[in-house]
Structure 1
């Protein structure tokens, strides 16, 4: 399957309508999705027939894979009657896409697969400019079979690789991909369970929600061994477990598609800017048991957005943190990636948010990540902060990840970097990389990770302390210059 995808990417790179990993991933995605949907419908139809029932197809016959993408005669591709060139492009652009876009309408149940298809294609268009190129791609994807769980698992792995390649492309593509080892360790600590409502306020390609699904659904994902769940639990897992927001159209499309391709047919993903919601209006019924997120940081929000938050700031990371704090249910658990600056900055807004966090929530663990985790599209040093809504903070367990070599684009973070952390965090074991700090020993809510076991720990000072140090250093320099000047004057007199 992977070799087929590689062939397709090579073919699409030569098409005039495609430029870069973002475009070819987008185009492979919609074609893969329609083939997946065809095989899913065929499987459901076969199951219905075995039960003596009639299955109502989502797609009209004219728009099903076997009617337009790849026609068959005696089990082989019907080359003569299969559309190609301009005929194929005209059908896809003028009939297929308008038909699929029409699925998202007010009369359709938002939880239905039909509505989700409309939501996906609302923001998609065919970019493949050459109908013969599209013909080649359709023929290759037709060879893929998604009728059983092991095939679907392979598809999910391939799709993850496509998203990873798009993220590694750098630039704006970075928003689509958080390193999977990091997502996995955050999910392990938060430990979502069946029955939980799980939320990501900035879902991107839904990596956190998919890892949460795998965590709940599989006893061993490597061997594809699933947990025994009741019909009601499976329905809850598909329809009422996963929630998220995404404001970027392509991220939204990739996220919804990614969830469906992984087996969650009805994810509750909205295309909206999370920060436009006034968090002071949230009720307990609107909150979530688990929040897993790597929200955007480094951005600036306008005054109108800031009005939705008790503590105003133009820093997106502070606004998202407040949103997550207010979105967590009683006894809820949260794991979120934040830039290092949030931990050590002590100006009014940062200190106020952290004061609220430590007093209303139990900040039990902070995982200090090495530089380079988000290369190549960001070199910002980050941390993961874990907090529960079950009381205030008494002490914080810190763990500092120390790779033996520098992380680079070609030597990224991997699962082995987190092995010791996962071994020690629950029992709060002290190692060379871990320590505990009592909340009473923290000044000005500077909760940054300062490893007492290392001599080269960087000490983050407040702006006022930095100014005072500069003044002190300048005074010492002036005194030293006066002494040198006095020596030189004395030397001139003696001469």
Structure 2
């Protein structure tokens, strides 16, 4: 949401809902989300039709054929083409309202297969936009927003970006960990972990599913020809055509057996499901599950885990999974053990944590760090600056990259200076003297991480270096960057006391002479 024009239009959209009678912020966000989903379904379907024609492949549109309400007689159905955004949005206000309420909304609720997570969680979704005039104004604003997004011409988590900005308008934004990880931080983490086709990829606290979407984007890029790839706004090469992914079995795996998300907020689950479906994952697996509870036991299941789990509270001891070895109620520690358990042997995780986990002196802190070092190959600890999650929170965070079952010989540390944005509440983009986008340390981290063995950095006066396992153990498994960094002090040559006193005496004489001259003038 760097574009000020989009921000302005989202503010106007928000204002329309507020003045139109939907004063509950969560209700407004849900209704806006449903409209965005309707819009993006049409956008994606048109794009897939174009891609299929380009690749000379068959494609069956979701708007092909007729749509029937449950139990509706055959002669009462409606052509699905009428349910496209571009078609219904052109109708007169009252007619559009009736069509969306009676047909389009039931249509999107029934897109998922029977008993699928989407069908289950959309079952209780309701359309509560109160009047035709509000729907008409909302449709107009969303069309204007998408005109700007089209002009940017990049693969973006558009719905997620808009949702993030909407959250900023709420007085409750950022509470209970309900805020999105910045897209460029997600992309960097995915580049470090490198998910592959055939991997089972999970997020135990997925929210709007930003990590899963980024992993999908990364995999699609691997199967997209160079001529169809572009640089996105954060300097990452991305492509979504996937023209080299022609095997139907692989497509089926990608659509049905790759992405798994869990959350305890029904609103987040609906948004996450719609987000993935809007971007081409036809059968996402996102469900209502407390992954820290005694009722969740998916151990040794996933090849990749990507997460920025909530770290703002503690749980009731009676609810915590009894298999955990970390004796604590702190969610940031419990999620780390949960992620370790979720991984298959040889599976890799990329996790964002508060920096306090790296150096906390309590027994639970030391226990979780020992798991990462003794039972995993802890590959990297990357400090993020404290402003990365503003305006939601100013807490300092870090990224951990670890592989379950490997052996830690040494750990690569990096201290990020900045992430290409200002570290204040505004989080504006940064530019160099020539006016080019400054990505900060984002791409430097990826480059140096990938080349860490060849570079073998051991100079601890720099921003990145290796620390051997034994030294970490000797320090109580502490993983704080500052614990191991060596400060460089530039010598300062001070003048001798004798010289300073001589100067002072000289100035005293000058002042006395000046006073004598002034007195002689009187």
Instruction: Give the TM-score normalised by the residue count of structure 1.
Output: 0.75
Q: 2:93 & 2:22 partners in 1: Cα distance?
A: 26
Q: Is the 8 A contact 1:399 1:434 kept in 2?
A: yes
Deviations 1:384-429 (A, max 9, x none): 1110124221111100011399611213688433232122122224
* Partner of residue 519, structure 2: none
CA contact (8 A) 1:63 1:96 kept: no
Conserved? CA contact 1:152–1:261, under 8 Å: no
CA distance in 1 between counterparts of 2:200 and 2:60 reads: 33
CA distance in 1, matches of 2:139, 2:146: 13
> Partner residue of 1:384?
399
In structure 2, the CA distance between the partners of 1:144 and 1:163, relative to structure 1 (3 Å rule), is closer
Please state if 1:32 is matched with 2:36: yes
Task: Give me the whole-angstrom Cα distance separating, in 1, the residues matched to 2:152 and 2:353.
Answer: 33
Matches within 5 A, 1:283-362: 283-284=299-300, 287-308=301-322, 309-362=324-377
1:161 aligned counterpart, secondary structure: helix
- Out of 88, 91, 95, which is 1:82 matched to? 95
CA distance in 1, matches of 2:49, 2:189: 39
Match of 1:125 in 2: 126
Q: Secondary structure at the match of 2:441?
A: helix
Structure 2 match to 1:446: 478
Structure 1's 13 and 210: CA in aligned 2 closer, same or farther, altered over 3 A? same
Instruction: Tell me which of 448, 461, 469 is aligned to 1:424.
Output: 448
Question: For 1:342 and 1:183, how far apart are their aligned partners in 2?
Answer: 20
What is residue 160 of structure 1 aligned with on the other side?
Answer: 160
Partner of 2:278: 261
Structure 2 counterpart SS, 1:363: strand
Query: Is 1:17 paired with 2:30?
Result: no
Instruction: Number of aligned residue pairs: give it.
Output: 434
The DSSP-based 3-state class of the residue aligned with 2:267 is helix
1:247 paired to 2:264: yes
| Cα offset, 1:312, TM superposition | 2.5
Q: 1:108 aligns with which of 111, 114, 120?
A: 114
Deviates more, 1:418-427 or 1:327-336: 418-427
Structure 1 residues 402 and 140: alpha-carbon distance in aligned structure 2, compared to 1, 3 A threshold: closer
User: Is the CA contact 1:18–1:128 (under 8 Å) kept in the aligned structure 2?
Assistant: no
Do the aligned residues in 2 keep the contact of 1:318 with 1:353 (CA within 8 Å)?
Answer: yes
- On the 8 A contact 2:305/2:349 being kept in 1, the answer is yes
5 Å-filtered alignment, 1:138-157, equals 138=139, 156-157=156-157
Distance 1:437 1:160 in 2: 38
Q: Contact (CA 8 Å) 1:199, 1:291: kept in 2 or not? A: yes
Deviations 1:322-343 (Å, cap 9, x if unpaired)? Answer: 1100111121111100111111
Partner-residue secondary structure (3-state), 1:274: coil
SS in 2 for 1:196: coil
After superposition, the CA RMSD in angstroms is: 3.9
Distance 1:128 1:427, change over 3 A: same
Structure 1 alignment gaps of length 5 or more: 457-495
Secondary structure of the equivalent of 1:186? Answer: helix
Deviation track 1:114-145 (CA, whole Å, cap 9, x = no partner) reads: x62x3453353334333321133346657999
